[in-house]
């Protein structure tokens, strides 16, 4: 069964994969290991995780304005998420990084995302139609 959540389209396109969910914001410049492309911040919920081919679900970016380049670097190195969902409101760092990297980006309400999306679920982000489709088997 599938069901859908409405979302806002920030960067168009669509992508599908397994959800990688965190409630903590991300500083893309400081928290990503640029050799192994995993989250290197020991205090972060996603410590040790790679975003490769996942649907990244997180509230918003924080800190360095250079975080936008860090998102682009994930794309160039083939380790980017297939789509990104900001579980509150998309921010300028994430929006500009995804726009230049052609990574579909949407945002949705905190309530909708935290009620339905958990790590490991198969998700389709259809940014152009403003839908997040959750496959519940």
Active site residues: 64
Is 123 a binding residue for other proteins by CB under 8 A? The answer is no
Is 121 a binding residue for other proteins by CB under 8 A? The answer is no
Q: Single out the residue of 67, 81, 85, 117 in contact with other proteins (rule: CB under 8 A).
A: 67
Q: Single out the residue of 21, 68, 117, 132 in contact with other proteins (rule: CB under 8 A).
A: 68
Is 34 a binding residue for other proteins by CB under 8 A? The answer is yes
> Is residue 24 helix, strand or coil?
coil
- 5-24 footprint of other proteins as x/- string (CB under 8 A): ---xxxx-------------
| Contact of 127 with 10, CB cutoff 8 Å | yes
Task: Name the pairing type of β-strands 83-86 and 105-107.
Answer: parallel
Residue 123 CB, nearest approach to other proteins (Å): 20
- 74-113 footprint of other proteins as x/- string (CB under 8 A): --xx----------xxxxxxxxxxxxx----x-x------
């Amino acid at each position: 069964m599938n069901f859908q959540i409405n979302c806002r389209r920030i960067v168009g396109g669509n992508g599908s994969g397994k959800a990688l969910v965190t409630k903590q914001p991300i500083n893309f410049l400081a928290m990503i290991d640029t050799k192994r492309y995993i989250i290197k911040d020991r205090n972060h919920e996603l410590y040790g995780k790679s975003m490769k081919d996942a649907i990244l679900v997180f509230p918003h970016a924080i800190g360095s304005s250079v975080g936008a380049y860090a998102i682009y670097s994930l794309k160039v190195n083939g380790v980017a998420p297939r789509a990104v969902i900001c579980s509150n409101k998309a921010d300028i760092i994430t929006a500009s990084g995804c726009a230049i990297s052609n990574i579909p980006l949407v945002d949705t309400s905190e309530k909708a995302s935290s009620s339905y999306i958990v790590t490991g679920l198969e998700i389709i982000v259809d940014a152009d139609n403003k839908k997040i489709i959750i496959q519940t088997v």
